[in-house]
């Protein structure tokens, strides 16, 4: 896996490092009342069409977005046949993060994070499967044609 895709492997490990820093750091990135996220939420609350955007919903969607690339990268590294492994690893990473957060001051472990992170990894896998479907069909056809040619020649 790492020999076949060295650049993707390094990029994936780097991204996982960023995720670890964001999720396992001593405190959330923007927990100040004057932070950018809270300023945006106050702006959304002023308008009836966007007052449904709450911190909890924003955090849930951000967790999905953060784990989407993980699902995609793991699918590309493991291959289409092991799509389920990419989802399983995304789930196990999330459970590990949430368990570790139990012991980190200022962090809160939440089962909703397990749901949103796993959903993000799953969406990444599904999009990866769709994006690689055409190439997978071409490879199957080429392999099938090669087998038929060998059968006729042999």
Please identify which residue in the block is written with the tokens 């960023």.
18
Q: What is the pLDDT of residue 149?
A: 66
- pLDDT tens-digit profile of 11-21? 999 999 999 99
Q: How far is Cα 15 from Cα 11, in angstroms, rounded to an integer?
A: 6
Q: What is the pLDDT of residue 82?
A: 95
Q: How far is Cα 56 from Cα 128, in angstroms, rounded to an integer?
A: 28
In this predicted structure, the answer to whether residue 2 has a pLDDT above a threshold of 70 is no
Q: What is the pLDDT of residue 113?
A: 96
In the chain the first and final C-alpha atoms are separated, in Å, by 33
Domain range spanning residue 115?
Answer: 6-153
Q: What is the pLDDT of residue 101?
A: 94
Nearest to 103 by CA among 30, 28, 24, 29: 24
Residues with Cβ within 8 Å of residue 83, at least 6 apart in sequence? 75, 125, 128, 129
Domain count, the chain: 1
* Contact (CB, 8 A) for 66 and 21: no
- pLDDT tens-digit profile of 102-121? 999 888 899 999 999 999 99
Domain assignment present for 39? yes
Domain assignment present for 1? no
In this predicted structure, the answer to whether residue 31 has a pLDDT above a threshold of 60 is no
Q: How far is CA 147 from CA 136, 142, 150, in A?
A: 16, 9, 5
Sign of the dihedral through C-alpha 138, 140, 143, 145: negative
Sign of the dihedral through C-alpha 58, 126, 10, 103: positive
Please identify which residue in the block is written with the tokens 């793991």.
74
Query: Rounded mean pLDDT of the chain?
Result: 88
Q: What is the pLDDT of residue 64?
A: 97
Domain assignment present for 111? yes
């Amino acid at each position: 896996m790492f020999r076949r895709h060295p650049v993707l492997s390094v990029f994936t490990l780097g991204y996982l490092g960023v995720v670890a820093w964001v999720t396992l750091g001593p405190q959330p990135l923007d927990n100040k009342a004057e932070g950018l996220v809270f300023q945006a939420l106050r702006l959304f609350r002023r308008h009836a069409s966007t007052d449904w955007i709450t911190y909890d919903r924003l955090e849930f969607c951000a967790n999905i977005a953060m784990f989407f690339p993980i699902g995609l990268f793991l699918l590309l590294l493991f291959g289409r046949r092991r799509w389920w492994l990419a989802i399983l690893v995304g789930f196990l990473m999330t459970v590990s993060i949430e368990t570790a957060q139990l012991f980190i001051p200022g962090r809160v472990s939440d089962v909703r994070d397990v749901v949103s992170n796993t959903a993000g990894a799953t969406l990444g896998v599904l999009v990866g499967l769709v994006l690689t479907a055409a190439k997978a069909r071409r490879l199957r056809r080429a392999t099938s044609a090669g087998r038929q040619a060998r059968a006729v020649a042999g």
